[in-house]
Structure 1
Amino acid sequence: MTNPSKLWKSASGWSHYLWRERPGTLDLSGQTIQSSETGSPDSPPDESTLAEQRQKSAEKRKRRAAVLEVLVFGLFIAVIMAASYGERSPMAFYMTQNVERQILGGGDVAFSEISDIPTCWTWITTGLMPALHVGTWYNGRVRPGARLLEDMVSYPLGHVQLRQMRLKPGKHCEPPKQMLNVTSRCIVEYSNGMADNENYTLLWAPQPNTTVNATDGSICDHINAQIPPGLYDCVGNPWMHTSVSLTDDMPYFGKHGSYIGGGYITSIRTANDTNFLQQNGWLDENTRALFIELILYNPHVNFFSVVSLAVEFTNLGAAYKSSEIVTVRLIQHDVILLLALRGVLALFLLYFTLREGKSLLSRPLEYLMEFWSWIELLVITIGFSTIVIYFYTQNIIDQVAEQRQNGNSAFHLYKSAVSWFQLSTYLQGFLICCATLKFIRLLRFNSHVYALSMTIRKSIKPLFYFMFTVAIVLLAFILVMVLVLGTNSDGYKNITSSLQSLLLMMLGNYDFEALSGGHRILGPLVFFLYQVVMQFVLLSIFMVILFDVYENGDWTTNPYDLGFNAFLKETATEAVEKIKGTFSVKSKRKKLEMERRFSTDMIPKINRGFSELNVV
C-alpha cells in the first residue's frame, strides 16, 4: 500500500510546478506573461534615450533617401541609354564604309582627284552615275536601267540632286593698279551676302521681264524644246533659285565658307542630263560650291544612308572636297518600346522639374549660385528637347511615307529627317554626359569621390592662374608655327589650325615630316622646344599643383558621409537578430505548448492520486 504522506507530497509538488507563473514565459498567443514577483512593466524611457533614438531614426531616413536618390537617377540614366542606343546599330558603320567605297572610288577620276569643274563633270559622268545604275548581276544577267548599287542590296531613293551656290554676276573687286597690265579680272571670296538668288534661263542669261500665268507656257516651251525631257519644268529648273527654311535644311560649314540651304537645284536621271548641263555651262566661274546629294536604302538591314558630297571652288583656282555619309535607321521595328521609353523619360524629367522648381522657389539666390543646379536645369532642358525633336522627326517620316504613296519626290523630307535625327543624336550624347557627371556627384558620400571633387574645387584658383601662363606660352608657339610653317603645312595655315595641331602634338599625334618639310632647321627646332617646355616643365607644374592640393587637404572628415558601412552592418545585424528572434519565439512557443500538453496529461493522474488519498 502506498504511503499517503508521500503521495500527498508528490501531488503537491507537481501541482506547484505546473501552475506557478514563471517570469518571461510566453502564453500560447506569443505574449510575455509578467511574473507576480517582478511587479509592473518597465517605466517609459528618459529624454536622453528618446533623443538618441530620434537621432538614429533621422540618420536612417537620410541614408535611405540617399540610396533612393542614387537608384532613381541610375534608373534615369539607364532609360536614357536604352532610348538612345536602341535606335542605333553597329552595322551602320559597315554600311557607311560600303557606300563610301562604291560611290567615291569609281570612275576615270576619283572624287578625291577632283581639281576643277571639268574633272568634277568627269567624275559625275564616269563614276557617280554608273555606280547608281549597275545593270549586270553577279550571274551575268543584264537589267538595263536598273537603279541599284554594285552590292545589289542598296537602292537609291529618288534621283541624284545637284545644288550649287553662286556669286552674284558683275565685278566685285579690282586688282591693284600696278597689276592692271597683267589682268583686270578679280574674284572675291564667297559669303552669304554675295550669294546670287536671281532667276535665269539657259547659259545664265537674265530671265525676260515677262509675266507668265499658270496656263501659259510660251517661255517654258521654248526652253523645254532644247532640254532632255524630265530635267525640269516651269516651276523649278536648274537656272531658277530655290529658297528653303532652316528647318528643312541645315547650314553647311565648309573650309572656305558657310552655306545655307537652297540654291540652284536640279536632279539628274541619266547621262544625257549631265551632258546637257555641262554643255550649257551650268557650272562656271561664278560657282562657289557644288553639293551632290543622294539617299540610299538597304531593306535587308533597314538602313538609310544620306550621302552629301561638297566641292568648293575658290578664288584660288583650287577645288576642295569633303564628304559626309550618315547611316541611320529612320523606320524602327521596336516603335512601341521606344515610345514607352520616351514616356518614362518624360515622367522622370517632369519629376525633376517639379523637384528643382520647388528648390528654386524656396531659395532662389542660393539655388542659382550653385554649379550643380545649372547642371540639373541643363539635363531637364536637353531632355525635353530630345523628346520634342524625336516626335518632330517621326512626323517628318510620316510625311515621307505619305508623299511616296502619292508618287511625289520626298528627297528634301528624307534629308530634313536625317538632319533632325543627327541633331537629336548630339543632344542625347550631351545629355548622357551631363547626367553621368550628376550621378558621380550623388556618390559624394564615398570618401574617394569626395576627395576627387574637393581636390578639383580647391585647385581651380591656382590652376586658373597657371593656365593663364600656359596660354601665353602656347600663343607664342602658335604664332611661331603660323609664321614659319603657315605657307607650307595645312596644319599650321592659320591660328585655329595651328592651335589644334599643337594640342594634338601634346598627345603624341604629329607629323614630323611635315614639320621638317616646312623648314629644315626651324621646324624640328621649334618642335623640340615645344616638347621640352610643355611636357617636361608646364605639365610637371600642373601635376605638382594637383598633388599639393591633395596632400594638404583634410579628407578624413566628409560632411556628406552617411556611414554606409556602419549602416549596412547595422542593417545586416538587425536582419539577423530578427531572424534569430523569429526562431526563438517559435522555439518558446513550442516549449510552452509541450509544457501545456504535459500538464494536461498530468491532471488526470493527480486527480486519481487525490481519489486514492480519499479512499485511504
Structure 2
Amino acid sequence: MSDFNDEPNINRKGTLHGLVSKSMLANRAKASRREDGFGEVVKQMDPNLLAVPGSVQQGRLSVTGLGSAGNRSPGRNSISIDGRDGGEGEEDELLAKATKSMMAELSREPLPIQYVIENLETRVQATGLYKEFMLFIPFIILFFIFYLNGRNIEENHLSAAGIRVPLLQTQFPAPQRNVDAATAWPVGGGPPQLPQDRQFNTLTRAADYKLWFEDVVVPLIWDCNSADVRHNPLQQRGQHIALGAMQMRVQIMPNRSCNPNPDYLPAEALTGRTIRCFDSFDADKSLKTPICGTTNPAFPSQTLWQYVDAGLISSTGTSGWIASYPGGGYTASIPFNATCNEALAFAETLTDTTFNDPLTACGIISDDTTRFVILEWFQYNPSTDTFLASKVYYEVSNGGAWIPTFQFRAFPVWSTQRLGQTAFDIFFLVFVLYFWFVFVSQWLTHYQRTHKVLDFLLDAWNIVELTNLTTFLAVLILRFIWWAQSIQKRIQLPFSDGYPAGLDAVVLLYSYQIYANAVNAVITVLKILKYLRLNNRMNILTRTIDVTKESLAGVLLLFIFVVASYAISGTALYGNTMWDFRTVDQAFVSLLFMLFGNFDYETMRQVEPTLTAVYFFTYTILAQFLLLNFIIAILSEGFAQVSTSSAIEPLDQVVLRQLSSLKFTLHPRNLKQWIQLTINGKSRNDLIFEMTKYIQEHMDLIELESPELLDNDLPITIEELKNWLPEHLDDDIGPFYTAVLWDDIAHDYHIDIQSEEYQQKKEIEALIKKGVLSVVTSTVERFDDAEKCMRGLENIVATLEGYVR
C-alpha cells in the first residue's frame, strides 16, 4: 500500500493542470448551464485553460510525457490529455460526454468535489456513531436495570411512610393531657390551661420538643399498653423490626462563646451582673466537657450524655439549613427492648433543669444552648428485605428559631441472597470498562491525526462522555466498597442493646451510589442527542443550540446578572422576615420560581410596602418580558435558520431508500466483498476514510497552486473519482460498492440543494453573474464603438495626409 503522506516527486504546476482537466472544466460548464443558465460564460473562457498537459497515475498526480501529441497513457487508472496537438477533438468528445450525462441517471451526474469530501467525512463519523449507538441501546437498558435492580421504590416509599407519617403528622400533646387539665379545673378560680396542639413541624421551643418526644415518639416506638413490660430484642412494630436502640445526639454551645458589644455594655455596667451569650454553632467552639454524670434511666449501664467524637460513634455528618454538623456530640441511647416507662423517664430528663451549670445539669435541650438535636435509629422490614434509616432532627439558631428536618432512607445490605445481582453488577462493570477503552482509543486516534492532546477533551460531547464514564466508575467503586462494608459488619439479627453505628457507613455508601446514578440517569439520556445527529428530523434541537450558542450565551449571562442583582436586593429587603429570601442563593432560586408564577406578593408587600411594587414589576419586566423573550427569539431565529439550511426528505422516500439499502446489504455480491474485507482485516469505513484523504490531497494541491479556483464548485464524476484513487484502494472498494456509494452521495446532494438556503444562495449568485455579465457586455460594446471611432479617425487622418502631400 502506498503511503498517502509520501511527498510525490512531481511538478505541482503540471499536476494542478492535470487535475483541473478539460473534463472538469466541461463538467463545470455543464453544471453552470444546468443550475444557472449562464453557459455562455463558459464559452467565452480562455481556450488556453483547456489545453494544459497533466495526468493522474495510480492515484497520484504526475506529469505524463509531452513529446507525443494527443498521446494517452495506456496504464490503468490513468488519463493523459495533451491540449497542444489534437486537444480540441478530445475536448469535443468530453463535452459530448458531459452533455450526454445530463440526460443520464442521477448517479452519473458530476458533483462538487467539496460536497463529496464533506459527505464522505460525514459518513465516516456517522458510521462510528452508528456503531456506538448499536452498543448504547443495550447499555442504557442495562444501566436502568443496574440502577433499579434490588430497589422497589414504591414499596420502600410505603414502608418509610409507615413510620414517617405518624411521626411527623401526629398532633401532641396527647389527648390525655387535655383530659387531665380539664379534670383539674377549676384551679385557683381560673379556666383550665389546655396545652396547645402541635405537630413536628410547628415546634418553637425546648418544652415543645420534650412534649413531642413523650407524646408521639415513645408511644409510636415502644409498647405503652404494657408500660412496664420489657420485650425481647426483636421488637416488631407493624412490619418493622427495630434494631438495637434509638440514639439521641445533641450539639450545644457554651456560655460566653460570644461576647456582648462593649459599646452597649461597658465593663462597669457588667459589674455584679452576668450576661449570658451563646454563639451560632461552631464545631471548634462547641461544648465537649463532661456533663450530667447520672445514669441513663432507659439504659442503666450507660452514663447519660457522654460526649463522643465523630469517628468513634458514626462516620456520617448531617447537613442542615444553617450549618453542617459532625457525627459526634453528646449522646444517649434508648434501647428498643426497654419499657415504655423507662423511655418516658428518659424524656423527663431532657428539659428538667435550667442549663446554667453544664457540669452538673442534665436538661441538655434548652432554648439558648442547644444548636442541634437528632433522633436516629434503624429498622428492618423482612417483607421487602430492606433496612430503613430514620433521622429526625432540629436545628436551633442563635436567634432562637427551631428549624425541622428529616431523612428516611431505605437501603439494602448485601447478603448471599444477592449473588445474582452481584453477577449482573460485575457484567455491567465489564460494559463500562469497554466504553472506557473505546473513549481512550478514540482519544489516541485523534491525537495521532492532529497531534493535539486537549483538543479532543474540549469537545462538548466528549466532556459529557468523560463525565458519564467517570461517574459510572465512581458508582461501581462505591458499590464494591458497599459489598465489603456489608460483609465486614456481618449483620445478623437480633442486634445488641446499643445503637448499630456500623449501619451508618452502609447507608451512606448506598446513598452516594443513588445520588451518582441519579446524575448518570440524566447524562445518559442526554447522550441520546449525540446519536440523533444521524437524522435530520431528530437533530433539530442540537443544531439549533449549536447555531445560537454564541448569542444565547451572552443573553443567558446577562440574565444571570439581572437575577443575581435582584436576589441581593431581595435578601436585603425581605430576608429578615421571609424564608424564601433568607440568603442570596435561596433568593436566587425563589426569583426563578417567580418567573413561573410562584410568589407571595401580599407577604412581600406587607414586609416592604414602599418598594415592593417597584421591585416586583421591574424584575418581571426585565427578567420575564425582556430577557426570557430575547432567549425565545434567539432560539426561534436559530430554528428558522436550521430549518432553511436543509431540506427534509419525505418519509415515504426515506422508507424506500432504507429498504433499498437493506436490499443492497443482503445482496450476495456485497456480502461476499464484506466477508473478504473482514478476512483481510479491513472495513469499508476505513476505506472511505482513506478515499477522503486522497481526494483531500488533490484539493490541497489546488488550494496551494490556484486557490481562486475554489471560489466556485469544482465538479467531479464517478469515473474521475475512480481515476483519482490508487489501484489497491479501487480494488478493495470495488465498482459495485463505489456505484452505490456515489448514488447515495448524489441523492444527498440533490436533497440538500432543495433547501431554501441553497436556493437563495444560487439566486444571489445568478443575479451577481447576470449583473457582471451585463457590465462586461456593455463595456465590450463601448470598446467596439471606440474601435470603430478610432478606425474612422485613422481614415480621416490618412485622407488629410493625402491632401497635405
The answer to whether the superposition gives a TM-score over 0.5 is yes
Query: Is residue 562 of structure 2 the alignment partner of residue 446 of structure 1?
Result: no
Change (3 A) 1:411 1:95: same
TM superposition shift of 1:162: 0.4
* Long gaps (5+) in structure 1: 1-44, 204-222, 580-616
1:399-548 maps to which residues of 2 (within 5 A)? Answer: 399-402=488-491, 404=493, 407=496, 409=498, 411-520=500-609, 522-548=611-637
Work out the CA distance in 1 between the residues paired with 2:638 and 2:469: 34
Work out the CA distance in 2 between the residues paired with 1:544 and 1:229: 68
Task: Answer yes or no: is the 8 Å Cα contact 2:257–2:279 preserved in 1.
Answer: no
Work out the CA distance in 2 between the residues paired with 1:113 and 1:451: 51
1:96 aligned residue (157, 160, 183): 160
Work out the CA distance in 1 between the residues paired with 2:468 and 2:123: 29
Task: Answer yes or no: is the 8 Å Cα contact 2:544–2:635 preserved in 1.
Answer: yes
**AA of the residue aligned to 2:430:** L
Task: Answer yes or no: is the 8 Å Cα contact 1:116–1:313 preserved in 2.
Answer: no
**AA of the residue aligned to 1:195:** S
453-462 vs 473-482, which moves further: 473-482
Residue of structure 2 equivalent to 1:67? 130
Change (3 A) 1:130 1:388: same
2:406 aligned residue (313, 320, 323): 323
1:173-572 maps to which residues of 2 (within 5 A)? Answer: 173-179=259-265, 181=269, 184-198=275-289, 200-202=290-292, 227-228=296-297, 230-233=299-302, 238-244=305-311, 248-269=314-335, 270-276=343-349, 278-279=351-352, 280-284=362-366, 285-330=368-413, 335-362=418-445, 363=447, 364-402=453-491, 404=493, 407=496, 409=498, 411-520=500-609, 522-553=611-642, 555-556=645-646, 568-572=658-662
Residue of structure 1 equivalent to 2:183? none
For residues 434-458 of structure 1, what are the alpha-carbon distances to aligned partners after superposition, in whole Å with 9 as ceiling and x for unaligned? 2222232022111134332232123
Residue of structure 2 equivalent to 1:591? none
- Over the residues paired in the alignment, what is the CA RMSD in angstroms? 3.7
Change (3 A) 1:436 1:320: same
Task: Answer yes or no: is the 8 Å Cα contact 1:164–1:263 preserved in 2.
Answer: yes
Query: 2:275 is paired with a residue of what secondary structure?
Result: coil
Work out the CA distance in 1 between the residues paired with 2:419 and 2:264: 72
Residue of structure 1 equivalent to 2:146? 83
Work out the CA distance in 1 between the residues paired with 2:481 and 2:158: 28
Task: Answer yes or no: is the 8 Å Cα contact 2:391–2:407 preserved in 1.
Answer: yes
TM superposition shift of 1:469: 2.4
Change (3 A) 1:476 1:350: closer
Change (3 A) 1:500 1:176: farther
Work out the CA distance in 2 between the residues paired with 1:544 and 1:391: 49
Change (3 A) 1:530 1:484: same
TM superposition shift of 1:80: 0.9
Change (3 A) 1:306 1:470: same
Work out the CA distance in 2 between the residues paired with 1:548 and 1:145: 75
TM superposition shift of 1:70: 0.8
For residues 317-363 of structure 1, what are the alpha-carbon distances to aligned partners after superposition, in whole Å with 9 as ceiling and x for unaligned? 23222112222344689723322321221111111122222233341
For residues 168-220 of structure 1, what are the alpha-carbon distances to aligned partners after superposition, in whole Å with 9 as ceiling and x for unaligned? 5544322343245597332221122323344x1426xxxxxxxxxxxxxxxxx
For residues 6-39 of structure 1, what are the alpha-carbon distances to aligned partners after superposition, in whole Å with 9 as ceiling and x for unaligned? xxxxxxxxxxxxxxxxxxxxxxxxxxxxxxxxxx
For residues 419-446 of structure 1, what are the alpha-carbon distances to aligned partners after superposition, in whole Å with 9 as ceiling and x for unaligned? 2111100101111222222232022111
Work out the CA distance in 1 between the residues paired with 2:569 and 2:127: 59
TM superposition shift of 1:410: 5.8
Task: Answer yes or no: is the 8 Å Cα contact 2:373–2:393 preserved in 1.
Answer: yes
**AA of the residue aligned to 1:77:** I
Query: 1:202 is paired with a residue of what secondary structure?
Result: coil
Change (3 A) 1:551 1:287: same
TM superposition shift of 1:144: 4.1
Task: Answer yes or no: is the 8 Å Cα contact 2:316–2:504 preserved in 1.
Answer: no
Query: 1:321 is paired with a residue of what secondary structure?
Result: strand
TM superposition shift of 1:404: 4.6
Percent same amino acid at aligned positions?
A: 17
TM superposition shift of 1:116: 2.0
Change (3 A) 1:169 1:70: same
Change (3 A) 1:245 1:540: farther
Query: 1:186 is paired with a residue of what secondary structure?
Result: coil
**AA of the residue aligned to 2:591:** L
Change (3 A) 1:150 1:130: farther
**AA of the residue aligned to 1:281:** G
TM-score under structure 2 normalisation?
A: 0.56
TM superposition shift of 1:65: 5.1
TM superposition shift of 1:509: 1.9
Work out the CA distance in 2 between the residues paired with 1:47 and 1:73: 45
Work out the CA distance in 1 between the residues paired with 2:132 and 2:560: 41
**AA of the residue aligned to 1:112:** N
TM-score under structure 1 normalisation?
A: 0.72
* Long gaps (5+) in structure 2: 1-75, 80-106, 111-116, 174-197, 336-342, 353-361, 448-452, 670-805
**AA of the residue aligned to 2:249:** R
Change (3 A) 1:410 1:83: farther
Work out the CA distance in 1 between the residues paired with 2:155 and 2:606: 40
Task: Answer yes or no: is the 8 Å Cα contact 1:132–1:149 preserved in 2.
Answer: no
**AA of the residue aligned to 1:298:** N
